[in-house]
Amino acid sequence: MITVDDYLVFVDDALDGMIEIVTALGDDLANRRPDIPETNSPYVLLTHCLGVMEFWGGYMIAGRSFTRDRDAEFRASGDVAGLVERAHVARRKFRDDLAQLDGSASARATLPPTTDGLPVRMTQGNVALHVYEELAQHRGQMEGVRDVLLAPWSKLV
C-alpha cells in the first residue's frame, strides 16, 4: 500500500515542475497566453492547481470549509514571486490536509451540484488521486505552453 509520504513525492514533483517553469519564465512570459484558442498562461495553470489542492484536499479530504472562485483562477495574473510563495503555502496546507487521510473512507464533504464528480467512488483515496491527476495534467499543459512561448518562431518573444 502506498503511504501518504510516498504519494506526496509525486505531488511535490508535479508542483515543483510548475514552480520551476513560472520562475524561469519570469513575470512577463508566465502571464502570457499563446495565441492559441482556449490556452491558459502558466500563471493561470499554477493558480488553478492551487485551487484544486485547496478544494479537493482541504474541502473534500480534510472537510475544511472553503469558498472557491474557480472562474477567477482562469483570469489570474500577477508577480511570479507571490505565486510561488502561495504555492509553498498550499503545499504545506495540502500536507496537513492529508494527515488524517483514510484512503477507503468516503470524502468528508459532498460536491456542489455544479461540480463534476469523479468516475469512481468518492473515497478520500480517489480524491487524492484526482489531485495528482490534475497536477500532472496541468504540468504537462504548462510545459507545452512554455515551449510555445519560448519558440523562436513565436510572436511573443
C-alpha to C-alpha distance for 109 and 106, rounded to whole angstroms: 8
CA 47 to chain centre: 7
Digitized pLDDT (tens) for each residue of the chain, 157 residues in all: 789 999 999 999 999 999 999 999 999 999 999 988 999 999 999 999 999 999 999 999 999 988 889 999 999 999 999 999 999 999 999 999 999 899 999 999 877 655 556 677 789 999 999 999 999 999 999 999 999 999 987 665 4
What topology is assigned to 4-150 in CATH?
Answer: Four Helix Bundle (Hemerythrin (Met), subunit A) (1.20.120)
147-155: Cβ within 8 A, 24+ apart:
148/34, 148/36, 148/39, 149/25, 149/29, 149/32, 149/34, 149/42, 150/25, 150/29, 154/34, 155/35
CA angle 52, 42, 79 (to 5 degrees): 95
C-alpha to C-alpha distance for 40 and 32, rounded to whole angstroms: 8
Which is nearest to 157 in space by CA: 76, 31, 148, 79? Answer: 148
No. of helices (H) and no. of strands (E), the chain: 5, 0
Among residues of the chain, what percentage have pLDDT more than 90?
80
pTM given for the model: 0.92
